[in-house]
Amino acid sequence: MTTTRIVEVRVGVLKKNDELARALRRRFEEAGVFVVNLVSSPGTGKTAFLERTLSTLVVSGTRVAALVGDLETDNDAQRLARSGAPARQINTHGRCHLEAEMIGAFLDEWDLNELDYLFIENVGNLVCPASYDLGEALRVALLSVTEGEDKPLKYPTMFNSADVAMITKIDLAEACEFDRDAAYAAIDSVRPGMSILEVSAKRGAGMDEWLVLLRERRESWQRVVAGAGRSPRMAP
């Protein structure tokens, strides 16, 4: 009975989250804001990668904002704010993931029509966030060269739910004896054909390719949304 009850509660929680995520997705589509959900284990360099992304986009005149999830502290939001983009911290107080309800609660003071991109830095965890839709248009799973090449095989649900795989800290690949072929094979075995990029937030390697992919994915998303009759605000 206990096991059955736990399953029922989990299904109920996910159903509620999916309903809220669908409402968020519609809201984002109508505003024309492209939402990117960054997921990874702790220590992959998500915050450094996002800070560099935001800084580059701000300088180019792109309108961006960020939400960042952690159990406690607002350290990462302070780091991201250095980019010049508005950033807000969501503290989950013990929860290992962000939920659609949390995202919705932190949007009230922002005019989404004034944004081109909204980035969500999820809580560092390769298990729980995989099950929670946040209404995003793009989910990016980050894997650092310091973690080992088999992370996608150990946590297949996360990588299977992602649209893009990002190999971070690529400047340390040689020092870590990182096996690129093994990493690519692991990712491809979980999600065949998924786009894979290699980046270094510290050195800037791969960032241009990432920004090109980001722009192309947004343009494709705009066409799909417009084709569905929801007429998003188009990029300038």
Query: If you average pLDDT over residues 171-189, what whole number do you get?
Result: 97
- Does residue 135 lie within any of the structural domains? yes
Q: What is the mean pLDDT of the chain?
A: 93
225: closest CA among 14, 2, 6, 29? Answer: 29
CA angle 52, 57, 59 (to 5 degrees): 95
> How far apart are alpha carbons 208 and 195 in whole angstroms?
15
Residue 231 has pLDDT above 60, yes or no: no
**Strand, helix or coil at 203?**
coil
172-194 b/e (C-beta count within 10 Å ≥ 16 → b) = bbeeeebeeeebbebbeebbeeb
CATH number of the domain at 210, please. Answer: 3.40.50.300
* Helix/strand/coil percentages in the chain, nearest 5: 45, 15, 40
Domain assignment present for 234: no
- % of the chain exceeding 90 in pLDDT: 89
Report whether pLDDT(230) > 70. Answer: no
Domain that holds residue 218: 17-227
Q: How many domains does the chain have?
A: 1
Tell me what pLDDT residue 1 has.
46
Is residue 101 situated within a structural domain?
Answer: yes
Helices (DSSP H) in the chain: which residue ranges?
2-31, 46-59, 75-81, 100-105, 151-154, 156-160, 180-190, 207-227
Asked if residue 219 belongs to a domain, the reply is yes
122: closest CA among 50, 187, 53?
A: 50
Residue 123 in tokens: 């809580």
CA distance 200 to 170: 5
**Is 7 within the bounds of a domain?**
no
- Asked if residue 11 belongs to a domain, the reply is no
> What would the mean pLDDT of 86-95 be, rounded to a whole number?
95
For residue range 2-50, what is the model confidence (pLDDT) as tens digits? 555 445 545 667 899 999 999 999 999 999 999 999 999 999 999 999 9
pLDDT at 136: 98
Q: Is residue 233 part of a domain?
A: no
Q: Residue 236: pLDDT band by 50, 70, 90 thresholds?
A: very low
Residue 151 near residue 67 (C-beta atoms within 8 A): no
For residue 128, what pLDDT is reported?
Answer: 92
Provide the greatest CA pair distance for the chain. 57
Flag whether 44 is in a domain: yes
